[in-house]
Amino acid sequence: MYFFLMFGDLDSFFLAVMAYDRYVAICRPLHYSRIMSPRVCALLLAWCWVLTHAVALTHTLLMARLSFRAAGEIAHFFCDIVPVLKLSCSDTRINELMVFALGGTVLIIPFMCIVISYIHIVSAVLRVRTPGGGSKAFSTCSSHLCVVCMFYGTLFSAYLCPPSVASEEKDVAAAAVYTVAVNEGFSSGVTTVYITEAIMFLVTTHAG
């Protein structure tokens, strides 16, 4: 459970960092090497790891204090927090509160950073007067946008819906989409972005 939570939260922060990277590359291209320096990238990576480890450790320690029935089956695609809490014989109000508090924070803050980044990106693209320049600039964000929609769509439906609205079938379906499609898409999106940048770098270097 610890590693599932840590890597899930890490995806959320990485998507926000990638959105900021796209914002700097499109809106402030002349300052990209200074803003996204190796030191800044290392600091962003370190903060992502520290925050996600702290959140995962908090949930794991809170879960360790609970008592569970001797036998029980988790009605879920994997060992997630909410299905495990349903098997507990102890008072889980603190755990549920932390799921909404920490889960909402980990999801909403990076999501807002992504939204703000893309508002600036769209504004900058709409100001481009060069034929095809706007579509070329925005095409570098297409794979990232697809992963963002899948990632946050499934997670918001699975974690931020009240218990009366959420159902086990919907949670399992959202978890399956997240595990199979989103993680695959995340890896493919990252690979596509960096392969495209590498090709453009080679073309520009040989052209120069």
Tens-place pLDDT, residues 44-75 = 989 989 999 999 899 888 888 888 776 656 65
Distance CA 13, CA 108 (A): 10
Domain boundaries in the chain? 2-207
**122-146 tens-digit pLDDT:** 888 887 777 666 677 677 777 788 7
Which pair of structure tokens corresponds to residue 19? 């959105």
**Beta-carbon contacts of residue 60 (< 8 Å; ≥ 6 apart):** 1, 2, 5
Closest CA to 102 of 196, 8, 15: 8
Instruction: Spell out, as residue ranges, where the chain has pLDDT lower than 70.
Output: 70-79, 131-134, 137, 157-208
E-strand ranges in the chain read none
Tokens standing for 183? 């993680």
pTM given for the model: 0.73
* Top-level class of domain 2-207: mainly alpha
Interatomic CA distance for residues 205 and 208, integer angstroms: 5
C-alpha gyration radius of the chain: 20
